[in-house]
Amino acid sequence: MLKLVVFDCDGVMFSSREANRHYYNDLLAAFSCPPMNEEELDYVHIHNTYNSIAHIFRNHTHITPESIEAHRRHLDYAPYLRFMTMEPDLLRFLELIKPSYRTAISTNRTDTMEIILDTFALRPWFDMVVTALNAPRPKPAPDGLLMILDHLRIRPHEAIYIGDSAIDQEHCSGARVDLIAFRNKTLDARYHVDNFMSIAALPPLQPNG
């Protein structure tokens, strides 16, 4: 019986590709580096902040990781929120499932997750939020999901994860949790959906699911 629904953030709860584009390009510009290409944008959209920075600065070896991190820590994320769009049926879906299921987030975001939760008033909807800051290892390692399962005392077969990338697919596989692929038909997933309300109709969320 399903007891827990876990969400990815970027590409699932939010369309955040443009926010990532502006954020990382501004970080590059601060060091007089050219903007990301599309491959680099694809990379930062699904990886954690530290790996993303290492990737986009990999050819700029004259810039120290310490100086980049020092600048990043003082880069206010608030202006980038205007480039983020919350999925239109996310709140409706949360209202529907919250009385019956525990909910959590496992994301590769780091310190930017806090401002997102508060700005969009999402904090009350989730029992637990795990980021790349508080998981021992970021996705695709299963650590975040395993932390959630352990803390909420829920077994893998009683949970389901909503994700949109190969990183999420590996994340679920390592934790033995079924994946709902969100707008990505290339993933090896238990279910494929294009919106949140379609999830409400899936067998695990039915009364005898």
- Give the pLDDT confidence of 169-188 residue by residue, as tens digits: 999 999 999 999 999 999 99
Closest CA to 57 of 46, 71, 75: 71
- For residues 84-105, one letter each, b for 16 or more C-beta atoms within 10 angstroms of the residue's C-beta and e for the rest, the string is beebeebeebbebbeeebbbbb
CA dist 51 and 66 (Å) reads 14
% of residues, the chain, pLDDT over 90: 92
The pLDDT tens digits of the residues spanning 138-153 come to 999 999 999 999 999 9
CA dist 142 and 128 (Å) reads 16
% of residues, the chain, pLDDT over 70: 100
Residue 207 has pLDDT above 90, yes or no: no
CB 12 within 8 A of CB 84: no
Q: What is the pLDDT of residue 209?
A: 64
* Mean pLDDT, residues 47-71: 95
* Mean pLDDT, residues 81-95: 96
* Mean pLDDT, residues 37-65: 94
Q: What is the pLDDT of residue 123?
A: 96
Residue 208 has pLDDT above 80, yes or no: no
CB 56 within 8 A of CB 41: no
Q: Which 3 state secondary structure label does DSSP give 116?
A: helix
Q: What is the pLDDT of residue 111?
A: 86
CA dist 40 and 178 (Å) reads 29
Q: How confident is the model at residue 102 (pLDDT cuts 50, 70, 90)?
A: very high
* Mean pLDDT, residues 100-119: 94
Residue that the structure tokens 């529907």 belong to: 96
Q: ω before 140 within 30° of 0 (cis)? A: yes
Closest CA to 106 of 208, 205, 8, 204: 8
